[in-house]
Amino acid sequence: MTANDTLYMQRCLDLAALATGYTSPNPLVGAILVHQDRIVGEGYHHRAGEPHAEVNCFASVRPEDEKWIAQSTLYVSLEPCSHYGKTPPCAELVLQKRVPRVVVAMQDPFPEVAGRGIALLRSKGVEVEVGVLEEEARWLNRFFLTAVEKNRPWVTLKWAQSRDGFIDRVREDASQRPEVFSSPIRQRYVHYLRHCHDAILVGRRTIQLDNPSLTNRFWWGTSPQPVVLDSEGVLCHQAYKVNQNSTSKPWFIVSPSAFRSQPLPENCIAIERSEHFIASLLETLASRKIQSLLVEGGAQTLQAFLDSGLYDAVDREVSPRLLYEGVAAPIFSGDTRCSLLD
């Protein structure tokens, strides 16, 4: 590995990140083609179902530079695929273009690839180097990797609280407005988080008190799939409308006993409440192609995830404000996964 290899791979990662929030359930991938320290082509995977990074990279090469492809190095942030999915195998395209050297950040753990693309290239005489900026590449695709390797979504827990440990005042109904701890800039960042995640989860009480839109209206791009914990099916029975500004209808997570006397509504998912409820919930969401989940509340819901240990990141904002009393914030001792904002 050379210094230039690291430099060019960082460019691949930067390109791949441009599609954050758009490629799920596919990974984020960037690729560049370099001839004698000059980038002659580059591309990234824009959306699921559209051409892969390598295809866009080769397509970007100008006609006068095509003669250099067979003397160039291809840098790609994830192993070229070797199977037929919605698009043809990228490893075969690399062979067709007669690229002599390929530098890969990391092997693709997806079962239909899992080293086969690298093996195919090497079997045809292509020099392949793997592991350049691998740690950075894994972080970029943490949602995809968690889904493949753990069969569950990456889980981010997010809340804001007062300096003395409360997330809100005690409210009886929706007529009382919630406490707001975040600045407008921070709110935009939270909506960026929503855009990055496939789904957003809240409890029934949060819906009844706040009637949140659960969209990323302070950011652009796609909004997450809303998921609501509604064990007794109260909101389903009331035909409660959630997220009216989104094209995605909410999924209500209910107990099987809530609909024993009638058919389960189409937008309801029955999961038994047990000590393994969080694990069952995440497994169910994974089966529905949800690779990342943002949990925003309320306090009991967040605490359930903390107690289960089934989370990957915590974004806890601590305001300088004091409430003195109210709804206690989740109990969190802190660990290396925590992003603490004062």
Q: Which domains does the chain have, with CATH numbers?
A: 3-143 (3.40.140.10), 152-328 (3.40.430.10)
244 residue type, one letter: Q
Average pLDDT estimate for 247-259: 85
- For 159-178, letters b (16+ CB in 10 Å) and e give bbbbeeebbbeebeeeeeeb
Question: What residues does 39 pair with on adjacent strands?
Answer: 34
Pairing of the two strands 166-168 and 199-203: unpaired
Average pLDDT estimate for 330-340: 72
* Average model confidence (pLDDT) across the chain: 90
Question: How sure is the predictor about 299, in pLDDT bands with cuts at 50, 70 and 90?
Answer: very high
Average pLDDT estimate for 157-175: 91
- Residue 261 has a pLDDT of 76
For the CA atoms of 289, 286, 292, 279, what is the dihedral angle to 10 degrees?
A: 170
Of the listed ranges 93-97, 110-114, 297-301, the one predicted with least confidence:
110-114
- Residue 310 has a pLDDT of 95
- Residue 340 has a pLDDT of 60
202 residue type, one letter: V
| Tokens matching residue 127 | 């020099």
Q: How far apart are CA 143 and CA 153, in angstroms?
A: 7
Average pLDDT estimate for 309-336: 90
**209-220 pLDDT, tens per residue?**
888 889 998 888
Average pLDDT estimate for 265-293: 93
CB of 203 within 8 A of CB of 297?
Answer: yes
Residue 312 clears pLDDT 70, i.e. is over it: yes
Choosing from 42, 50, 54, 134, the catalytic residue is 54
Q: How far is CA 266 from CA 35, 251, 269, 270, in A?
A: 55, 9, 8, 11
Strands of 246-310 (E only): list them: 251-254, 268-270, 292-297
State pTM to two decimals. 0.90
Residues annotated within the binding site are 52, 81, 90, 160, 194, 206, 210, 214, 217, 231, 296, 298-304
Q: How far apart are CA 27 and CA 108, in angstroms?
A: 9
CB of 312 within 8 A of CB of 155?
Answer: yes
Which among 13, 14, 22, 25 is positioned nearest to 46, based on CA atoms?
Answer: 22
Q: How far apart are CA 236 and CA 294, in angstroms?
A: 22
Which among 160, 212, 202, 209 is positioned nearest to 183, based on CA atoms?
Answer: 160
Question: How sure is the predictor about 118, in pLDDT bands with cuts at 50, 70 and 90?
Answer: very high
CB of 36 within 8 A of CB of 47?
Answer: no
Residues annotated within the binding site for NADP(+) are 160, 210, 231, 298-304
- Residue 239 has a pLDDT of 55
Question: How sure is the predictor about 316, in pLDDT bands with cuts at 50, 70 and 90?
Answer: very high
Asked if 54 is an active-site residue, the reply is yes
Q: How far apart are CA 176 and CA 77, in angstroms?
A: 49
Residue 258 clears pLDDT 90, i.e. is over it: no
Residue 181 clears pLDDT 80, i.e. is over it: yes
Residues annotated within the binding site for substrate are 194, 206, 214, 217, 296
Question: How sure is the predictor about 228, in pLDDT bands with cuts at 50, 70 and 90?
Answer: very high
281 residue type, one letter: L
Question: How sure is the predictor about 86, in pLDDT bands with cuts at 50, 70 and 90?
Answer: low
Average pLDDT estimate for 123-133: 93
Q: How far apart are CA 172 and CA 209, in angstroms?
A: 8
Q: Which of the given ranges, 239-248, 285-294, 329-338, has the highest pLDDT on average?
A: 285-294
Q: How far apart are CA 23 and CA 195, in angstroms?
A: 12
Residue 317 clears pLDDT 70, i.e. is over it: yes
Residue 236 clears pLDDT 80, i.e. is over it: no
> In a 3-state reduction of DSSP, which class is residue 34?
strand
